[in-house]
Amino acid sequence: MKTLANLSLTAILAAGVALPAMAEVQERTLTLSNGVSETHPVADGVAAMRECIVDKTDGKWTLNAFWSSSLGDDLQATQALRSGTQEMVITSTSPLVGIEPALGVFDLPFLFADESEADAVLDGDFGDMISGKMENSGLINLAYWENGFRNLTNSLHPVTKLEDFEGMRVRVMQNNIFLDTFQNLGANAMPMAFGEVFTALETKTIDAQENPYVTIDTSKFYEVQDYLSATRHAYTPFMLLFSKPIWDSYSDEEHAILKECGAVGRDAQRAASRALSSKSLAAVQEAGMSFNEVDPAEMERIREAVQSVYEKHAETIGSDVVEAIRAKLDEIRG
Ligand code: KDG
């Protein structure tokens, strides 16, 4: 029987009959989750990525998105990817430092001066190097999307100088660099998953949190916070992560579709985030928040107070990683 089968195949090949190519793109349903609400600019990125995916797969793929930590917080969802039980997550890098310590480089206070620097570092060879490290942990980073520059909100008083942080119970992402940054400022830093923040603010378990304007707006923190201070103390990237165990079962053509459409989503999401930022700032003030800039001389004192975080965490992050990003930023700044 084996001989007959070989003969048949040989005969077919000899006749030059083209065998139907294996389906390079199969029917698939992809699950994506994240912690922000569906009104956040992440939704614009997901919509653009979904349109790209449907087009490139001729409708063979379906992308289902879940919002507001409904499938778990950033770290829980990321672990689901590593175990191959979920395809995608859009997550801040900060809660993942226990998986890949090098991600802590993005949490160093006042690292980036503006979005153009962040894009140049993340979309260049440094960002590729960090993405490469993620593969060792069963994760494929398809693209860096934008969480953004983080600003402080609180329910006690305006923060206009270093001393105003003293004793303030500030929620931070579960990350020792953020913990140390706010401890250095004199605050009582309290690590907490994003999904718990609104209730903790509402019940006065904490006094403050820090996030970009679009998150403060779309997560309705203005309902439970009175003061917003433009600290811009860190820029947090999102990672669009894909499960490597699942990735490894996909074809090269399917990999190319995910990379292309992940970048399409990135560009749409960054544009939406930057277009909404000033509107969100206006919206939260309209909703009653008191907004203040911080005097440059006072910002300098705040920067000085947190500089020691760089030295303290360089070894954990990887001294080579810290040196590489500093070199890249020096190159960009000329
Ligand atoms: O999925 C993203 C959110 O869960 C979260 O990372 C947003 O910046 C954020 C925070 O403060 O946790």
Distances (CA, A) of 50 to 46, 226, 258, 263: 6, 37, 10, 12
Cα 151 to averaged position of ligand 1 atoms, centre (Å): 13
Q: Phi/psi class of residue 183: alpha, beta or left (left: φ > 0; alpha: ψ in -120 to 50)? A: alpha
Read off the pLDDT band of 19 (50, 70, 90).
Answer: very low
Cα 236 to averaged position of ligand 1 atoms, centre (Å): 9
For the CA of 94, the closest atom of ligand 1 is: 6
**What pLDDT, in 10s, does the model give residues 85-126?**
999 999 999 999 999 999 999 999 999 999 999 999 999 999
In a domain, 23, yes or no: no
Mutate to test the pocket of ligand 1, among 68, 92, 214 (most ligand atoms within 8 A of CB): 92
Quick one: which of 57, 34, 58, 56 has its CA closest to 46? 34
For the CA of 34, the closest atom of ligand 1 is: 1
Residue type, 125: D
In a domain, 309, yes or no: yes
> What's the pLDDT at 319?
98
Is pLDDT above 80 for 318? Answer: yes
In a domain, 14, yes or no: no
In a domain, 119, yes or no: yes
Two tokens at 268?
A: 């749409």
Mutate to test the pocket of ligand 1, among 42, 66, 74 (most ligand atoms within 8 A of CB): 74
> What's the pLDDT at 14?
52
For atom 10 of ligand 1, the residue with the nearest CA is: 194
Distances (CA, A) of 214 to 23, 32, 77, 131: 42, 21, 22, 26
The CATH number given to whatever domain includes residue 169 is 3.40.190.170
Cα 186 to averaged position of ligand 1 atoms, centre (Å): 23
> What's the pLDDT at 5?
47
Is pLDDT above 80 for 280? Answer: yes
Quick one: which of 149, 193, 189, 198 has its CA closest to 171? 189
- Average pLDDT on 214-232 reads 98
In a domain, 18, yes or no: no
Is pLDDT above 80 for 4? Answer: no
For atom 12 of ligand 1, the residue with the nearest CA is: 194
> What's the pLDDT at 6?
54
Cα 164 to averaged position of ligand 1 atoms, centre (Å): 25
Read off the pLDDT band of 21 (50, 70, 90).
Answer: very low
DSSP string of 25-87, one letter each residue = S--EEEEEEESS-TTSTHHHHHHHHHHHHHHHTTT-EEEEEE-TTTT--HHHHHHHHHTTS-S
Is pLDDT above 80 for 8? Answer: no
Cα 68 to averaged position of ligand 1 atoms, centre (Å): 10
- If DSSP codes are grouped into helix, strand and coil, which group holds residue 98? coil
For the CA of 150, the closest atom of ligand 1 is: 8
> What's the pLDDT at 310?
97
> What's the pLDDT at 2?
46
Find the residues whose C-beta lies inside 6 A of ligand 1: 34-36, 74, 90-92, 147, 173, 194, 211, 236
CB atoms under 10 Å from CB of 278, counted, come to 11
In a domain, 1, yes or no: no
For atom 2 of ligand 1, the residue with the nearest CA is: 35
Is pLDDT above 60 for 9? Answer: no
Cα 310 to averaged position of ligand 1 atoms, centre (Å): 22
For the CA of 89, the closest atom of ligand 1 is: 1
Domains in the chain: how many in total?
Answer: 1
- CA 313, 314, 317, 318: dihedral to nearest 10 degrees? -160
Domain containing residue 318: 28-333
> What's the pLDDT at 206?
98
Place of tokens 């509402």: 202
Is pLDDT above 70 for 66? Answer: yes
- Average pLDDT on 120-147 reads 98
Longest dimension (CA), the chain: 86
- Helices within the chain (DSSP H only): 2-14, 42-56, 74-82, 115-122, 125-135, 176-184, 197-202, 213-218, 244-247, 252-286, 296-306, 308-317, 319-333
Two tokens at 277?
A: 């930022």
> What's the pLDDT at 139?
99
Residue 290 main-chain phi, psi, to 5 deg: -95, 120
Cα 73 to averaged position of ligand 1 atoms, centre (Å): 8
Two tokens at 204?
A: 């006065």
Across the chain, mean pLDDT equals 95
Is pLDDT above 80 for 220? Answer: yes
In a domain, 65, yes or no: yes
For atom 6 of ligand 1, the residue with the nearest CA is: 92
Count Cα neighbours of 307 within 13 Å in the Cβ-side half-sphere.
Answer: 7
**What pLDDT, in 10s, does the model give residues 32-50?**
999 999 999 999 999 999 9
In a domain, 175, yes or no: yes
Quick one: which of 120, 145, 116, 91 has its CA closest to 268? 145
Paired with 63 in beta bridges are: 30
Cα 36 to averaged position of ligand 1 atoms, centre (Å): 7
Q: Considering the chain, what percentage of its residues have pLDDT values greater than 90?
A: 93
Mutate to test the pocket of ligand 1, among 88, 179, 194 (most ligand atoms within 8 A of CB): 194
Cα 33 to averaged position of ligand 1 atoms, centre (Å): 12
Is pLDDT above 90 for 12? Answer: no
